[in-house]
A = this chain, B = another copy of it.
Amino acid sequence: MPILTEPEAARDPRVTRSRAVILQATAELLIEAGFAGVTIEGVAERAGVAKTTIYRHWRTRSQLIFDAFESLMEPSAPRLTSGNLRADLIYALRGLIRGLTVSRWAPAVSALIEAGDRDPEVSRLVHDFLVERMAPFHHAIQEAVERGELAKDVDIDASLNMLTGPIYYRRLVSREPLAESFAERVVDQFLRGAATRREEPAR
């Protein structure tokens, strides 16, 4: 009896191949039809693989979807430390925007949000993914505080939300166009604030 979903060392190339085409097909279906659109039979057909082969390697649909999504993720971009907060934030936000619009997994984002609502396993996956994606922002802000570019009492939590929130909002909720240039508008608004300065220095 084969060991299911072994993490490493699938020595037999047939196994390796099967897993790959199945994950690929699952990802495609996930993107095209959402969480509910992923069926074992659909995956089997698209992968050109027998249903039984899928059941041999994954116990549940959730596990399969989980693995498929994981396989879609690219390693995060290398850390940037330019010493300039504005530049760092814009760089990170641009990466996020790309991730949500043109990356391979971009079309699956909505499906994952909903899936996270119903499947705790998926929810955990999404969470881990987010933490990783948030790291550059956290890092940039922390460094800026150390440099004195940001006030020590800055609300980091709210700041992170205010930087990334608008991006997700456009992507998920309002569905307005989301170009990379939006990054600058958000960052500038974030840094400057909206209120006109009353303590404006002399003209």
Contact = CB atoms under 8 A, between A and B. Distances in A.
A148 interface: yes
A159 interface: yes
A96 B191 CA distance: 24
A44 B165 CA distance: 39
Interface in A186-203: 186, 188-197, 199-201
Contact of A169 (B126, B165, B188, B196): B165
Interface in A109-144: 110-111, 113-114, 116-118, 123, 126-127, 130
Interface residues of A, number: 54
- Taking chain A's interface residues, is the majority helix, strand, or loop, or is none over half, making it mixed? helix
Contacts of A174: 127, 130, 161
Contact of A162 (B148, B166, B173, B175): B166
A196 B152 CA distance: 9
Interface of A: 33-36, 85, 110-111, 113-114, 116-118, 123, 126-127, 130, 148-151, 154-155, 157-159, 161-162, 164-170, 172-175, 182, 185-186, 188-197, 199-201
